Amino acid sequence: MERDRARRALAALGGGVCLVAGCSSAQATAGPGATCGSTHTAAGVPVIIKVAKGSVDCRTAMQVEAEYAARIRNGQVAGNGGGAPTVVSGWTCQGYATPEVLSTGNASQCHTGSAVVLAVLPVPAATSTSA
């Protein structure tokens, strides 16, 4: 009973993320290099969900990312800050170490046997400074 309630809450959260992130306008299926939408990490950092390998249903990718972030926020993922790999709806998700995040912009990865999606930090807009 409690598990069913938790599953329904996570499903609603995933749907809410899609509404906020614009999933409804994203492609249903996307290939390498495509963007599925935007969301936030467990720490509230904005990220863009990009397909790195294979063919991905974007709605599923966004739901997996939302559930992964929720599990980290709720302390359900082992490791320092939730860094250990964990299985979410058949996908294995894991965050990258800070040095890699800083050098690549990739915050985390979720993959199946045939597909990989990355949560990527958006490139900040260039700003001009007055001297």
Residue 130 lies in a domain: no
pLDDT tens sequence across 81-124: 777 899 999 999 999 999 999 999 999 999 999 999 999 999 88
Residue 129 lies in a domain: no
Residue 128 lies in a domain: no
Q: Report the domain count for the chain.
A: 1
Measure CA of the first residue to CA of the last residue in the chain; give whole Å.
63
Residue 25 lies in a domain: yes
Cα–Cα distance, 81 to 54 (Å, whole number): 28
Domain holding 110, by residue range, is 2-120
Nearest CA to 77 among 49, 44, 41?
41
With bands split at pLDDT 50, 70 and 90, how would you rate the model's confidence at 64?
A: very high
